[in-house]
Chain A
Amino acid sequence: MKSWLKKAPGAMAVVCIVIGVMLAMQYRTNLHSPSYVSYREWSRQLAQGKDLQQQNDELAKETMVLRADLAGAAYGKQNQSLKSRLQQADILAGFTPVAGPGLVIMLDDNPDPMQQNDQSEDHLIHDSSLLLVINQLRNSGAEVISINSERIIASTEIRCAGPTILVNLNRIPPPYEIQAIGDPDKLEQAMRREGGDLENLRFSGIKVSVQRAKNLEIPAYQEILKYKYAKNK
């Protein structure tokens, strides 16, 4: 025994212990690694995979059915109320060109040459004048309004830009043709009202004309609407 111990290699003991540790650790790591799968786990996952495949097939079928429904809805076969709501929203948002009876108002700068005491500002149409007219039109039931073919939508701005006016970020020069679709009688009444905005403009020298139209055509809003801050809730 003693001679055995003397001959016995200490290095061998160290090597063996280290090998044992490494083997055990590797085994444990493999147990936890995703590549190690027991037969039971494997068969369980196989069954699960088949289930999921089946579910997937069923959902795919459902998707096809729902798509067909959606197409039907878009063609107006199934949901009339949804379709009409969509159309209303399109008109309100200005996404579609519209046509209908209404009123045409022409405004132009004062054609008379300036007198000595005249202010140049009094001879021009201002953004505020247009805003007043548009507000008055809306007040009397105008549904869709445009200025020089620029569709007025909820976010449209009307502001002064030198000799021109900015509408939908487009410069439009005079003369201004305001088209409004709505009840022509009501609109005309409101516009021709004594002491109204148009009369005030006329008094200040602006050329104003009001004309009824049987069929006005107003184009769609041309720009792309992008909402960065407002999100649907």
Chain B
Amino acid sequence: MWLLIIFCLLVGVIIGFHVPLLIPVFFAKYLSVAILASLDSLFGGIRAYLDGEFDNTVLLTGFISNSLLAAGLAYIGDQLGVALYVAAVFAFGVRIFQNLAIIRRSLIYRLGHRSSGAMLDH
């Protein structure tokens, strides 16, 4: 799982660096918000995986809808003159940290469970 994630991320980065087209600066802003949304999906997926609730469809649909919503929100906000992208940054930022905390605990629990057989409360 971890190998898969790292490997695929690397593949993506390499592809991204070698693709000849460059995103226009106009879209770069929205892409950054979309990246945040997709990172949230990634962490959510890892968490679900560790919890044993992982579902391909849920991840994929969540990924697409979150990215589009985040980018669209940023765009609409720009058109209206309201910094709506802050909402996306805030929501996804908070969720990323929450998911990370859950992942961390889950991993600690697992390692602790394996090594000592003890249960961790939190």
Using a CB–CB cutoff of 8 Å, the interface residues on chain A facing chain B are 4, 7-30, 32-34
Contact = CB atoms under 8 A, between A and B. Distances in A.
Given A12-B49, A13-B8, A29-B22, A23 B56 contact: no
A25 B49 contact: no
Interface string B1-28: 1001100111111111101001111001
Interface residues of B, number: 36
| 9 nearest CB pairs, A to B | A20-B12, A24-B16, A16-B8, A11-B56, A17-B12, A21-B16, A11-B59, A20-B13, A11-B60
B57 interface: yes
Interface stretch (B30-38, B79-87, B88-96, B106-114): B30-38
B33 to A, nearest CB: 10
Interface majority SS on B: helix, strand, loop or mixed? helix
B13 A23 contact: yes
A9 B9 contact: no
Contact of A26 (B1, B35, B45, B46): B35
Contacts of B99: none
B16 A9 contact: no
Interface majority SS on A: helix, strand, loop or mixed? helix
Interface in B27-82: 28, 31-32, 34-35, 38-39, 41-42, 45-46, 49, 54, 56-57, 59-60, 63
Interface of B: 1, 4-5, 8-17, 19, 22-25, 28, 31-32, 34-35, 38-39, 41-42, 45-46, 49, 54, 56-57, 59-60, 63
Given A28-B16, A29-B23, A12 B59 contact: yes
B49 A9 contact: yes
B56 A17 contact: no
